[in-house]
Amino acid sequence: MLQPLFHRKQVAGYGDYMVEATQRRLETWSPGETCDIESEMQNLTLEILFATLFGRELAPGEGNELRAASDGLNSWFAPTSWLLPNWVPTPSRRHFSESKEQLRSEIRRLLTEHGEKSKPDSLHQETLLSKLAEAREASGQDHLSTEEVEGQLLTMLFAGYETTAAALGFAWYALAQNPEIQQAFHEELDAVLDGEPPTHADITDLELTRQIVTETLRMYPPVHTIPRQTTRDVNVDGYQVPADTQVHLPLLAIHRDERFYDDPSSFRPGRWTGEFEDELPDYAFIPFGGRRRTCIGREIATLEATLVLATIGQHWTLEWMGEEEEVSIEPEMTMKTQNELPMQLRPR
Ligand code: HEM
């Protein structure tokens, strides 16, 4: 039902807005300033997601409320609670429930606002909200309850912006750590864009930029673990896994396995040349999952990551200002850093 909103053709239409939103944010940057690029990318991707899915721009302060509530959902994954049975009321689980309620009430507000509006949405005619409202009317309320509609929107918000922000944050970090690659990236942008803002039509020619996105998704997969639960006893390659067991697919480990990748701990965008990806074994590269539950937002995410990198990299160089040489990773629901991603912003 929602798939048409995420098809490649439809997604291409979001490109201009992605670039404009990035340019607006760049107007707030000052030369020489140091900022936490992880948080800055979260602000930007939330703004873009909101506009592409809900059809209007965030009102002042609205982004902070949504971000705080959405971030609270990560507390489900606090290591101290993670292994305890679901009924144990740990502080992080309480925080999770409060955040979920807060996010739900924000979503109810959005739904009411949408229901009250008679005009089409300002940025796009068809949005996630209008599709869900349409489907709800068509199916009668028995098929798609208010709870389900709210649940879909909640999932979309949570799944859609922190993930893309993580990909962008780690891409800037990897570029700052690899000056020769950063230099080649800038040269590509200058040659392909010739000073004009990037558009969807430039994506094919921005080969290195696309490879940088792919290599970042390999080394720093924003969803670092895909959890599943067995519904029956299964035999996996000789291991007996009983029913009702949690099984975790550790993307971070798979993507850094030397059976599939030469020198897996090095950031080498150039490895994604020619047939490399097609020749990888199945499931050796699965940043968006696989098969039936593949991420619905993958086209949006890759277009967005490529256009945002290009728009920023055209005019700015980012320099790593962290105290440690290497960033420490904090695997919450999405991949995070322990001490933010401080970067100095320098105009090119
Ligand atoms: C770089 C960015 C992103 C990455 C790495 C990513 C990755 C993933 C992964 C690994 C899954 C789980 C698949 C599974 O369970 O097998 C998933 C599910 C999902 N993603 Fe994404 N995603 C990204 C961006 C987005 C965006 C932009 C949206 C929405 C606009 C989105 C919406 C969803 C939804 C709705 C699900 C399904 C959740 C569910 O099954 O309950 N994702 N994504």
What domain range is 88 assigned to?
A: 9-223+255-347
108 assigned to some structural domain: yes
246 assigned to some structural domain: no
- pLDDT the model gives residue 206: 98
What is this structure's pTM? 0.92
The pair of structure tokens assigned to 321 is 């200002």
Output 28 or 130, whichever has higher pLDDT: 28
- pLDDT the model gives residue 139: 65
Output 181 or 98, whichever has higher pLDDT: 181
Q: Which residues line ligand 1 (CB under 6 A)?
A: 49, 155-156, 159-160, 163-164, 167, 222-223, 226, 287-289, 293, 295-297, 300-301
231 assigned to some structural domain: no
Q: d(Cα 52, Cα 18) in Å, to the nearest integer?
A: 9
For a mutational test of ligand 1's pocket, the pick from 288, 334, 336, i.e. the residue with the most ligand atoms closer than 8 A to its C-beta, is 288
- pLDDT the model gives residue 267: 98
Residue located via tokens 């067995």: 230
Check whether 344 has a pLDDT greater than 60.
Answer: yes
Check whether 159 has a pLDDT greater than 80.
Answer: yes
Most confident range (mean pLDDT) of 101-110, 216-225, 291-300 is: 216-225
- pLDDT the model gives residue 110: 81
Convert the pLDDT of each residue in 76-86 to its tens digit: 777 677 677 77
Residue 296 CA, ligand 1 centroid: distance in Å? 6
- The residue contributing the CA closest to ligand 1 atom 35 is 156
Handedness of CA 62, 63, 65, 66 (dihedral sign): positive
- pLDDT the model gives residue 164: 96
- List phi, psi (to 5°) of 324: -85, 160
242 assigned to some structural domain: no
166 assigned to some structural domain: yes
CATH code, domain with 178: 1.10.630.10
- The residue contributing the CA closest to ligand 1 atom 9 is 288
309 assigned to some structural domain: yes
- pLDDT the model gives residue 192: 98
Residue 213 CA, ligand 1 centroid: distance in Å? 16
- Say if residues 52 and 124 touch (Cβ distance below 8 Å): yes
Residue 341 CA, ligand 1 centroid: distance in Å? 23
Output 319 or 81, whichever has higher pLDDT: 319
The pair of structure tokens assigned to 168 is 């962008």
18 Cβ contact list (under 8 Å, min separation 6): 48, 52, 303, 304, 307, 308
Split into its structural domains, the chain has a count of 1
Binning pLDDT at 50, 70 and 90, where does residue 157 land? confident
Q: d(Cα 283, Cα 287) in Å, to the nearest integer?
A: 9
Convert the pLDDT of each residue in 32-67 to its tens digit: 999 999 999 999 999 999 888 888 888 877 888 888
1 assigned to some structural domain: no
- Report which ligand 1 atom has the smallest distance to the Cα of 53: 30
Q: For a pLDDT cut of 70, what percent of the chain falls above it? A: 94
Q: What is the mean pLDDT of residues 13-41?
A: 94
Output 218 or 123, whichever has higher pLDDT: 218
Q: What is the mean pLDDT of residues 11-34?
A: 94
Residue 303 CA, ligand 1 centroid: distance in Å? 14
How many C-beta atoms surround the C-beta of residue 321 within 10 A?
A: 14
Q: d(Cα 250, Cα 248) in Å, to the nearest integer?
A: 6
Check whether 71 has a pLDDT greater than 90.
Answer: no
Handedness of CA 108, 111, 113, 116 (dihedral sign): negative
- pLDDT the model gives residue 307: 98
178 Cβ contact list (under 8 Å, min separation 6): 267
- Say if residues 223 and 165 touch (Cβ distance below 8 Å): no
Residue 67, sorted as left (phi over 0), alpha (psi -120 to 50) or beta, turns out to be: alpha
The per-residue pLDDT of the chain, averaged, comes to: 88
Binning pLDDT at 50, 70 and 90, where does residue 21 land? very high
Convert the pLDDT of each residue in 255-306 to its tens digit: 999 999 999 999 999 999 999 999 999 999 999 998 888 999 999 999 999 9
119 assigned to some structural domain: yes
> What are the angstrom distances between the C-alpha of 249 and each of 82, 93, 229, 284, 338?
16, 23, 11, 11, 22
